[in-house]
Structure 1
């Protein structure tokens, strides 16, 4: 049950996230649909390739495609005065998508009995991959490479999943809420990892 729930949540959240970026960049309706679909399914496609699943697996998700298209359409039709804070909406939906798809990707790898390293990679790629493709298509710096902590939260979630210490849907839902909250806090509070800038003397 949890698998389907996270699939739906992640698909809707990332489809809307992609649509928001497309509207910010003033794309037409076709561009909004393209960016929304790419954001919702890009991470899963990259994950499947790296863990050895056929790309055709993606096309078996007809219902998820329908859900993504419906979410994009509904969001596009909402009058702008109801969605004044675009940036806030985008970060919230992105946080929800990251959390849902990271857990889903980690669960997928655990189900395939892959090692812990593969579970972490699958979760990070599923959670962040679609956003990376979206940002690159929109000509933006990928959010996973910005200062605020992003992909690390996906890695933390998958680490706990890979250890298989905690089991059951309740744990998964708690983990989802926790990762979503931590990502939102990272953005609002400016939490970041240590960084170092090198000045090259010519």
Structure 2
């Protein structure tokens, strides 16, 4: 993906807000018991496989760090070099890589499980299918994938974020459509959850899908 394409704009936007994002979001798991429970499922899956967990769209590394604190070997991957730099600084014992969801910097079958929390929302609709194919590629057979996204059909555009000039779109997604694309990509969807936003979150409904690579 060219730096002048949509991913280049997403990359530049997250580079711009990276430090403030860490300050605002870096401790969010403390107030998200459902997310912690779902991440615990991935931790158990990884423990059984002996392979690492991929945190796809890892941002400042808070999810990867949480997993690592519980003995999970994690590799965080993010589009934004600034986010990767902060993640490495904040979680020096965890491996982080810079890369795109459409061209993941990982070997075939490298991971026993993967999590992508609110990262596929920055993909165009036509990019979801190849992104899920990439996720399947880097997972071992039987590996679990946890996705989280905003529910709906709107596209929310930001040109200002916490006082910073950005250019980024947030694509809301429908669970049934995402589940269908995962199935087409070679996953079996095992669980679906929906919830309202927590008080500290943006006012959107949230969807979670837990899928297993065939």
The verdict on a shared fold, with TM-score over 0.5 as the criterion, is: no
Output the TM-score relative to the length of structure 2. 0.30
Output the TM-score relative to the length of structure 1. 0.31
Larger RCO of the pair (alpha carbons < 8 Å, separation 6+): 1
Greater strand share, 1 or 2? Answer: 2
Which has more radius of gyration? 1
Greater helix share, 1 or 2? Answer: 1
